[in-house]
């Protein structure tokens, strides 16, 4: 992880948020390379979940929501983690995570009293991760919602407006709008990428557990009790998408939840084997009719679906896929990162799938001080840039150094213009993963790169 975090910062992928002020725990910024990789992940996800599917609709809902939304969703009452504080150094621990380290499972549904009893049974075995002492306060439920002071809160009784604890609520709030404006036939899906904020007790593992993150969610609205086959199909569909990112299949697995969160009937995680072990990247949840029933009760608006073909009406059940974009970004970086010997040197290389790579190609003249090579290289660069956007021009240092720089950011193709190019209009294309070189006609270059990206 240390090497990956260092490369991510050094090569413009990820920066600590507010770094010049000493940072802010659990917040990161995406740099110039990072935002390209992030956008490419989003593009691939959007294409798979909106364009390649029938009856799926895109959405982008506002972040601020009426405070009643979070009451209806169950977040103000039930969205909490068990927290205890070290009496010696004031460090905060997540009690369920510390218990898990000694193989004791704390059920998500335990009351404050029950988890205190469990914690008391094991207090002697749990050390403070900061100072090593074993003197903790009692456990209390710590709500993860982040409050804002939007609006006027001077008068008593005003409910706070929260930042979204999960992005998907915007989909439930717009379910009726989509019914009325798009007239979908059930089953139909809604896909959205949106921010979520959680007051995590202990943000950790770089992008893995942060306080601000983005979720890519789909919600599939189905007829009641028609969940079993659709749920299996959804799991398979998501598995295939992860494989399409070029991630090593052996590093992926599905795990079923033993303890279900308050809204779920069944829940599976897609996990990736990070350097610290397998951990969750995406959740696939069977939410039954929980969400729409709650919003129907709290808002008083009828959210039933009227099926004119079958002549009945019902509150749809919902199957959800919810992926943290920071986590999939990190999984992709971990999976792509390799160090190996090439041409007698050790190189760090990101073996990113071409469609994800932040830079699609780098164009170089063989020599910097030859204007005729520069002119030709600039003209090839301009053509590729117009087509692909994320293309670089590099004439610094020797060719070997230029390759190493591009390897580190995962550029799949380095294109060199040499004296032969001036004669025959052919360039040398060097493949990032094999180091092999191919001669390609300039007129074929755009389709050559485009083909590799779609493979």
The residues that touch ligand GAP, with contacts defined as CB under 6 A, are 166, 168, 198, 200, 209-210, 213, 215, 217, 280-283, 320, 322-324, 326-327
Min separation Cβ 26 and ligand GAP, Å: 7
Residue 333 CB partners (closer than 8 Å, separation 6+):
4, 8, 13, 350
Q: Which residue is nearest to ligand GAP (CB)?
A: 324
Nearer to ligand GAP, 217 or 394 (CB): 217
Nearer to ligand GAP, 325 or 363 (CB): 325
Min separation Cβ 167 and ligand GAP, Å: 7
Nearer to ligand GAP, 36 or 320 (CB): 320
Min separation Cβ 267 and ligand GAP, Å: 8
Min separation Cβ 125 and ligand GAP, Å: 26
* First-residue to last-residue Cα distance in the chain: 29
Give ∠ CA 224-78-293 in degrees, rounded to 5.
25
Min separation Cβ 14 and ligand GAP, Å: 13
Contact 324, 269 (CB under 8 A): no
Going by C-alpha positions, the residue among 455, 219, 224 that lies closest to residue 355 is 455
Min separation Cβ 394 and ligand GAP, Å: 34
Helix axes 32-46, 228-244, angle to 10 degrees: 140
Contact 170, 218 (CB under 8 A): no
Min separation Cβ 187 and ligand GAP, Å: 19
d(CA 442, CA 49): 35
Min separation Cβ 190 and ligand GAP, Å: 13
Nearer to ligand GAP, 328 or 409 (CB): 328
Nearer to ligand GAP, 192 or 421 (CB): 192
Contact 361, 391 (CB under 8 A): yes
Residue 351 CB partners (closer than 8 Å, separation 6+):
246, 336, 338, 410, 432, 433
d(CA 92, CA 223): 44
Nearer to ligand GAP, 267 or 442 (CB): 267
Q: Which helix (H) or strand (E) holds 179?
A: helix 169-182
d(CA 286, CA 283): 10
- Rg (Cα) of the chain, in Å, rounded? 26
Nearer to ligand GAP, 192 or 411 (CB): 192
With tokens 């189905």, the residue in question is: 222
Q: Which residues of 98-107 are buried (b: 16+ CB within 10 A; e: fewer)?
A: bbeeeebebe
Nearer to ligand GAP, 189 or 326 (CB): 326
As beta bridge partners, residue 441 has 426
């Amino acid at each position: 992880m240390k090497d990956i975090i260092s490369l991510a910062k050094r090569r413009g992928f990820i920066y600590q948020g507010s770094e010049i002020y000493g940072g802010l725990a659990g917040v990161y910024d995406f740099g110039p390379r990072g935002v390209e990789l992030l956008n490419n992940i989003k593009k691939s996800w959007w294409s798979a979940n909106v364009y390649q599917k029938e009856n799926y609709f895109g959405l982008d809902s506002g972040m601020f929501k009426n405070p009643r939304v979070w009451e209806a969703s169950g977040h103000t009452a039930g969205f909490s983690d068990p927290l205890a504080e070290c009496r010696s150094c004031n460090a905060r621990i997540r009690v369920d995570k510390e218990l898990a380290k000694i193989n004791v499972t704390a059920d998500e549904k335990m009351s404050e009293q029950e988890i205190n009893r469990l914690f008391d049974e094991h207090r002697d075995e749990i050390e403070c991760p900061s100072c090593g002492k074993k003197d903790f306060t009692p456990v209390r439920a710590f709500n993860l919602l982040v409050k804002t002071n939007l609006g006027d809160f001077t008068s008593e009784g005003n409910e706070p407006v929260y930042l979204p604890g999960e992005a998907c609520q915007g989909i439930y709030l717009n379910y009726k709008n989509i019914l009325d404006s798009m007239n979908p036939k059930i089953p139909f899906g809604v896909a959205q990428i949106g921010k979520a904020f959680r007051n995590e007790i202990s943000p950790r593992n770089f992008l893995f557990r942060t306080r601000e993150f983005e979720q890519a969610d789909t919600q599939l609205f189905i007829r009641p009790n028609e969940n079993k086959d659709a749920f299996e199909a959804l799991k398979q569909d998501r598995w295939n998408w992860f494989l399409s990112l070029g991630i090593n299949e052996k590093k992926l697995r599905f795990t079923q939840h033993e303890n279900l969160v308050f809204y779920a009937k069944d829940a599976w995680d897609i996990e990736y084997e990070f350097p610290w072990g397998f951990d969750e990247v995406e959740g696939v949840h069977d939410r039954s009719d929980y969400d729409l029933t709650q919003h129907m009760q709290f808002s008083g608006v009828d959210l039933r679906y009227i099926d004119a073909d079958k002549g009945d009406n019902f509150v749809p059940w919902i199957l959800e896929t919810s992926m943290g974009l920071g986590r999939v970004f990190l999984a992709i970086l971990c999976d792509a990162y390799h160090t190996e010997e090439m041409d007698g040197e050790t190189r760090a290389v990101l073996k990113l799938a071409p469609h994800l790579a932040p830079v699609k190609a780098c164009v170089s003249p063989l020599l910097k001080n030859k204007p005729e090579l520069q002119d030709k290289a600039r003209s090839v660069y301009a053509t590729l840039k117009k087509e692909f956007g994320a293309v670089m021009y590099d004439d610094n240092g020797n060719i070997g150094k230029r390759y190493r720089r591009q390897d580190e950011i995962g550029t799949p193709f380095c294109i060199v213009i040499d004296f032969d190019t001036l004669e025959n209009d052919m360039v040398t294309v060097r493949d990032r993963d094999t180091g092999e070189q191919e001669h390609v006609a300039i007129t074929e270059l755009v389709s050559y790169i485009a083909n590799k990206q779609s493979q």
